[in-house]
Every structure is written in structure tokens, then in C-alpha cells.
Structure 1
């Protein structure tokens, strides 16, 4: 079977065994969907194009022109994001991710990532990060003329720097796949799970779920179950083309689709918002659904046609028979994006504003590392806890519920005609545009830790295999 590719354009409840068994049973691939997937596998690797805007060089900092209310394209640094999402108060209490491990899975390489991370730290006054780079299947030699590889280097820079910005003392294990082909990505992820490299895994990539070889999809789900048995939390970005995904045949068209691996019910899917905060202090003001037609981008979200509704989504308004995503969200806007050092751009020490749901997955991984340190154990599979909390009065305390906007997506086809794919509107509570919303991290961790599937649930989860 030809290979397909992952890509992303940019950017203590003891659950009853019967409930968890029902969850696993609901993950079976239907024969109709499997046949559809097999007929749409793309034999070519799909290049990525992270969404970014040049902001200057590190020597222009620590404050940049885009950190102004009058800037044409605004941006945030670590201090503003930490303030907006109430992360700083957690760090001030001594919870910094120390002793915890974050795995970031990406493809190809970013030769300057270690030095760029040091520049990022120096620019924004952060301590140096413990960073390990692991390439279990070897590296493809970096080619600065290969747009696909250069794009992935930007993704690596974004993922590593912003996981570190949220959890500055956590060890980051960057696990690199040899290419962005599905099988190579799966191999790298398997290495991370088999070797138990982290408390949490961030996956800032995806593709239409029916574009994946169904045999590989089953292997991937089995691997995610093994990760869950080890209480490894799994995150994946929901996508940057709203309710759609690029067509499986590489034609440049788009179709209504959930994103894989984010749609897997064992993964926490991260959607996108546009954060409005004070550009200097970071004081939180409001959020809307991320949808920026001027950048050809919008937050991913929708409904799977492969995975049945998991038990934790029972009773959730707007979800009928199939898995809905995203589960939660994070700032993903380009106008209001995050500052990232990226030397593979061709500008050594260049600072760029990055957007995309790619930015949310590593930051949620950082939040989870903070929670694991605070709890003194892994938080494990978080989706049941998120939905339990979401259905209580606690939700409005721990989540910023985004109620404005939609994630519809428009693009120009090969004939220059505008094609619009309808999206999903935000509303009160869970919705297919932003899930439950974005976190107030300090309040969320205080509530989430008692609800989470921590290490004390090992026997329950292992018994369900």
C-alpha cells in the first residue's frame, strides 16, 4: 500500500470497567469507511506551510513592534500568554514542570533548534531547557531548498519553544520521524511509547481521517491504547482549515472531514481561538473562534465518520452518533500569534509570529507537565475528566467558553472559483468549533487533578486490553 503523509498547515475518577470497555468497542472501523479510506490514499508526501509572519531579529527584543495595540499583525511573547491563561501564578507557586517529561513528535529536523531555543530563552528571560533530540530511524539530511523540510523545521521550532515557555523546567524529548510519511510518523511515536519517554505526547500534525490507510489507522489506535495504559496523555492539533481537510488525492481541493490523529477518541483534540489580550501585560480580554480568511486559515473541528461517539461524550449537546472534535482549544491566531525563533527560515536569529492549532498542542502538553508535577503523578487520559468537568458548574470557572464565531472555510479551486465549506458555530458549552474552550490553567489544574486518570488507575486500564 502506498504511503501517505501527516501534515499540518500553519502552523481521581476510577472509571467503571464496563464504561471503558464500551469506549474501546466504539473505536471499531466500519467497513464502509475503511473501503473509502483505501480508495483515497495519496501516494505522495504532502508538504507543509506553517503560517508565520516575520517580526524581526532577536536583537530587536525583548519587546517587538508587533506587541502593540496598533500593530497590523499583533503578537504575544511567553509572558503575555502566561498571564492571559493564568499560567504565571502556577509557575510562581514553584510548579514549573520539574521532573516531568514532554515528548514532541515531529518529522525531518531543525538543525538549529538547540541554539534557537537558547536564543528564545535569552530573548524572553527564560531558563535554559533540558532538550533531548532522538531520531529512532535516523535523520533525512536537512535540505534548506526543500520547502517541506523547511516547513517542518518551523513546526519543530514552534513546538519546542512553546512547550518550554509553558513548562520551563520540564525535559523536552524531541522525537523525529525520518520523513512525514504516515508509517515513519507512526514508527517515531511507537518508539516514544515503547520507551516511555514522556508523561505527555504532543502531535502538531494531521490529515483527513479517511486519507489514512485503515490498517495503519488500526495500528495507530492500538498504539494510543498502549500509551493510555502507561498513563501517557496524548494531544493532537485539530487542523488549520476549519471544518475541512485537504483532499486525499493531492488535487488542492478540500472536503468536510475530521482530522487524524486528533479524531481518535484516545487523543485530546486541540482546536483554535483568536485570543484578545493586552499586548503588553497579557491581561485576558476575550476570545473568538479562530477564522482568518486573509491567511487562509481557521480552527479545525467537526465529526468523525470512522469513530463512534465515545462514552465520555454521551449527553453532550451537539454530538449525535460519532466522535466530535475538538475537545478543548487554545490561541491559534496569526494576528495574535506567538513569537518564535526560527533560523532555518534563512534568517539566523529571526523572530516570527506563528499561528495555527499547531501552537496549542505543545502548550497543552506543557500545561499537563505542570499538572503532573503538582499531582506527583501522570494525569493520563484526560478526555473523560474534561467532559465530566464540562457538564458541571465548574466549567465556567476553569474554561474560557468561546461563544462567538464559526470555523467555515473557503478556498479557490483550480478554476479560480471560490468554494465554501460550511463550518460549525461556537455556542455555550461544548461545540465543534472550540470544544469546551480554553483554559484558566491555575483553576483548571486544581479541579482536573482529582478528576484525572492518574497512575492509581493502572489496574483498571490494563484490564481492558
Structure 2
């Protein structure tokens, strides 16, 4: 997730994506899959040059648009299916849709088509319209379609905005954009969001090995997160997409490391699973640890070398150091989520399949917005509550899908041994994935 430049370090988003399907002259056509770039998840997307979306969903009646949704197991999911799999649809029956709350999404550079893409996404899936409030504290960097780094971040923006909205469709969306993905610029954008208390929850779909971030910036980041927590702001971050590994600080290889900002004890770190659910109805079947060696991708997890074990983790693991992830969410590439992205350089209104723990952080942010709505106020840092719920086996099983199979070993040019999923918390999938209809009401009344 990190590359080093002479001017300083650069944070990479924690996501990966594949060109999937688009409607061409009314027919569903598969698109070529990309290569995964060495040293990170910067996508190289293969897309049919004249592919375009020409159809829309007609209401919220379970309509399925793409062939990958009806394979066994499902090869992709739309909002209806993910909402059903994790119980978000049941919350909607009680009027929980995020209204009155604000989700802050921190990203870098920009996507000039994000409002159009969200509008198209909403029309495609029958979601309510929403406005993306773009905030660029350092000024909006002009978009360079020929810069692969900027294009990759545009894809990240697409995923973050559309899928936070899919979970909390009436929540306000504040997209705070750093002028670049240098650590100092990302931190400055986050500081603006915290100082101005822009929203109730902040989603951060990026990271790098703790050892690679400048120590002074790490300390400043930690102080900022403490400030956010005191204001009742919930902080979320993706745990990473190379399993137990992170790119080395010079970007030439991988080593065993955990990702910041996910490891900060004020943050809820989101790892990855492979969801097996019905691609038409969304009926939940099972989950396993996200690990797709063909893509050199797996759910981030491991142990901090900087932060001691926080009080909320004392009864969960015995390393005496902060451990991640705290929770997980579907992050599969084959079995990923669909999003509309027009700034890829491959054409307008294309539908892509996205994978990675980047998909989980904004969706957990959506869940927090639902809890904030139910509470009529901010729920604040949720880690204490999440881990307290795991102390009773009965309660834990009621609110989480406990993921007990697989591991997050990194399989790339080097192999970095990972951690196995077990009963309860583990460094592969954390506490597991949410049964949202049961967990969100508890988050709303806790603290």
C-alpha cells in the first residue's frame, strides 16, 4: 500500500478492482480482468473500449442486472444483495436510513465524475438521490487521466462514496480530498474534517506499514485521532489487502507488518472475508477469510509494533500489542461489489466489480450512521462495545458472523505467513462480520 518518493512517503488506498461486466447494446458482456500491480493495488483495468451501461433497474424488487450475480457461488453483488446478506434491509423496515447524520470519506486527488457516477448508481439500483459534498481544504488537484495513481484514487473514491451511500442512503456524504496521497497531505485533510467536526463517522480506505510512516506524522495522527474520539467521532480504516504483509518502505517487496491508520487504538480496523450469499436474494450462506492468491490479495491483519494492547482487547488476544482487524466485511474480488465508474479512462457509465478491505470501511461507516440516527446523536468510538459483546458467547453469536475458516497468508513474489481464523477474535477476520439488524440497535444504546 505504500511507495516511497524522494519528496516523502505516499499512502496507497486499500482496495483492488477488476473490470467486470457492462451492458453493450443491451447484452451482458464480460470485461477483461486486470493485472495487480507489484507493490500495491494500483489497478490496471482491462475494459472493452465501447462498453457502456444502457439499462437501469426498475424498482427494488430483487431485479438482477448482471450475470455474475446468478452464478453459484455469486461472482458479484449489488446493494440489494449485500444489504440482505448483512441484515441492513431489516433496519430499513424501522426507518433507519442514515437521515440526519453525516459520513465523512477521506481520499486523495479527485474523481471529476463522482456526482454523475453516484446518480447513475442510484438509478441503476433504485436508491434515493444524494449529493456528494466535495471539500478540498488544500485546493482541488486538477485531474490527470494519464496519471495511474490519480486514476486509481478516482476508483477508490467511487467505491467509498457509492457503498457508504448504499448502506445509509439518506446520510449526508462529505468527501474530503487531500491534494495528494502523501502522508502529510492525507493527515491535513483528516485534520480539517476533525477540526471542523464535519461528520459523525470518518472512513479511511488507505494505509501503509506502521514502520514506513514518519514517526512525527504518526504522533500527530494519533493526537488527531484522540481529538476526534473526544468529539464523539467514530473512526474507521481498512486493514489492508496483502494479508499479514505490507509493502516494504522502498516498495520493492513485502514484509510482515500491520497497517496504519488501522492500528491506532482509536480506530476500528476493518478486515476482509469472502462472502457466500445468494446473488439474487442476498440470502446469507457462509463466509471465510478473504484470501485470493491469484490476485496476491488477502485481508489485512496482524500486530502493531507501536501501540500496546488497548483495554478493550485484553480478553481477546494475548500479544500485549494492539491487534487488527477489529471486524470484517466482504472484500472478495471474485464475489466483489458493483459500482459505476466513469473516470477510469475506459469510457463513461461502466460498471466495475470492486474488491478489497476498501469496500468494508465505508460500509461500516454506513452502519455507524444508522446507529447514530437511532441514537439521535453520535455513538463515538465503538471498539469498547464491540469487544464487550464478544465476552458472552450467546450475545456474540447473536450480533456477529464468527468467521472460523481460512487464513491471511500473503502469496506473492514472497510468501508471508499469516494468521488463521478461529472461534472468536483472530488476526485474520477480527470479531467477524455484522448481523446489522441486531448489532446496530445495540451500538445505538451503548457507551
Q: If the length of structure 2 is used for normalisation, what is the TM-score?
A: 0.89
1:14 matched residue in structure 2: none
Partner of 1:302: 302
Q: Give the 3-state SS of the residue equivalent to 2:70 in structure 1.
A: coil
Residues 51, 450 of structure 1: CA spacing in aligned structure 2 closer, same or farther, 3 A cutoff? Answer: farther
Secondary structure of 2:431's partner? coil
In structure 2, do the counterparts of structure 1 residues 323 and 110 end up closer, same or farther at CA, with 3 Å as the change threshold? same
Aligned-partner Cα distance in 1 for 2:101–2:53: 29
The match for 1:4 is 9
Residue matched to 1:329: 328
Distance 1:267 1:51, change over 3 A: farther
Give how far 1:2 is off: 4.8
Give, in whole Å, the separation in 2 of the partners of 1:107 and 1:349.
22
> What is the aligned partner in structure 2 of residue 445 from structure 1?
440
Point out where structure 1 has 5 or more consecutive residues left out of the alignment. 12-45, 413-418, 453-465
State the partner residue of 2:25. none
> How many aligned positions are there?
409
CA-to-partner distance for each residue in 1:382-430, whole Å, 9 max, x for gaps?
Answer: 1111111111131100000000000000212xxxxxx210000000000
Tell me the CA shift for residue 91 of structure 1: 1.1
Corresponding residue of 1:206:
207
User: What residue number does 1:69 align with?
Assistant: 71
Preserved contact between residue 53 and residue 353 of structure 1 (Cα < 8 Å): no
Question: C-alpha separation between the residues in 1 aligned to 2:43 and 2:375?
Answer: 35
Tell me the distance in 2 between the aligned counterparts of 1:169 and 1:51: 33
CA distance in structure 2 between the partners assigned to 1:411 and 1:333 by the alignment: 17
Map of 2:225 onto structure 1: 224
SS in 2 for 1:307: strand
Once the two structures are superposed, the pairs formed by residues 270-289 of structure 1 within 5 Å of their partners are: 270-289=270-289
1:61, distance to aligned residue in structure 2 (A)? 5.0
Counterpart-to-counterpart distance in 1, 2:445 and 2:129:
31
Aligned to 1:355: 355
**Taking structure 1 as reference, are residues 81 and 226 closer, same or farther at Cα in structure 2, changes over 3 Å only?**
same
Q: CA deviation at 1:100?
A: 0.2
Tell me, in whole angstroms, the C-alpha distance in 1 between the residues paired with 2:46 and 2:242. Answer: 18
Indicate the residue corresponding to 1:436 in structure 2. 431
Tell me the residue number matched to 1:19.
Answer: none
> 1:186: which partner in 2?
187
- 8 Å contact from structure 1 (residues 237, 361) kept in 2: yes
Query: For the residues of structure 2 that align with 1:52 and 1:336, how far apart are their CA atoms?
Result: 17
Decide whether the 8 Å contact of 1:54 with 1:352 is kept in 2: no
Alignment correspondent of 2:99? 98
Corresponding residue of 1:123? 124
* Alpha-carbon separation, structure 1, partners of 2:214 and 2:391: 35
Provide the residue aligned with 1:313 in structure 2: 313
CA distance in 2, matches of 1:305, 1:191: 28
Q: Which has the higher strand share?
A: 2
3-state secondary structure, aligned to 2:255: strand
Distance 2:341 2:14 in 1: 16
CA contact (8 A) 2:56 2:123 kept: no
Shift of 1:53: 7.9
Deviation at 1:204, TM superposition (A): 0.1
The residue correspondences of 1:26-105 to structure 2 (distance < 5 A) are 48-50=41-43, 57-62=52-57, 63-70=65-72, 74-105=75-106
Residue 48 of structure 1 deviates from its aligned partner by 4.9
Structure 1 vs Structure 2 CA RMSD:
1.7
- In structure 2, distance between residues paired with 1:91 and 1:107: 32
Q: In structure 2, how many angstroms separate the alpha carbons of the residues matched to 1:51 and 1:143? A: 16
Pairwise mapping of residues 195-274 of structure 1 onto structure 2 (< 5 A)? 195-251=196-252, 253-274=253-274
- Structure 2 unaligned blocks of 5 or more: 1-5, 17-38, 58-64
The Cα shift of 1:67 comes to 0.9
Cα displacement (A) at 1:377: 1.0
CA contact (8 A) 1:10 1:50 kept: no
- The answer on whether the counterparts of 2:40 and 2:247 sit within 8 Å (CA) in structure 1 is no
Rounded Cα–Cα distance in structure 2 between residues aligned with 1:51 and 1:423: 27
Kept in 2: contact 1:100–1:171 (CA 8 A) = yes
Q: CA offsets per residue over residues 170-220 of structure 1, 9 Å max, x none?
A: 000000000000000000000000111000000000000110000000000
1:426 is the counterpart of 2:431 = no
Contact 2:337 2:353 in 1 (8 A): yes
Q: Cα 1:327–1:9, aligned 2, differ >3 Å: closer, same or farther? A: closer
DSSP-derived class of the 1:172 partner: strand
Deviation at 1:449, TM superposition (A): 2.3
Q: Which is helix-richer, 1 or 2? A: 1
1:416 maps to none
Taking the aligned partners of 1:333 and 1:192, their CA distance within structure 2 comes to 30
Distance 1:282 1:305 in 2: 39
User: Contact 1:66/1:75 (CA < 8 Å) preserved in 2?
Assistant: yes
Distance 1:341 1:322 in 2: 40
Partners of 1:52 and 1:353 within 8 A in 2: no
How far apart are the structure 2 equivalents of 1:51 and 1:232? 35
SS of the aligned residue for 1:185 comes to helix
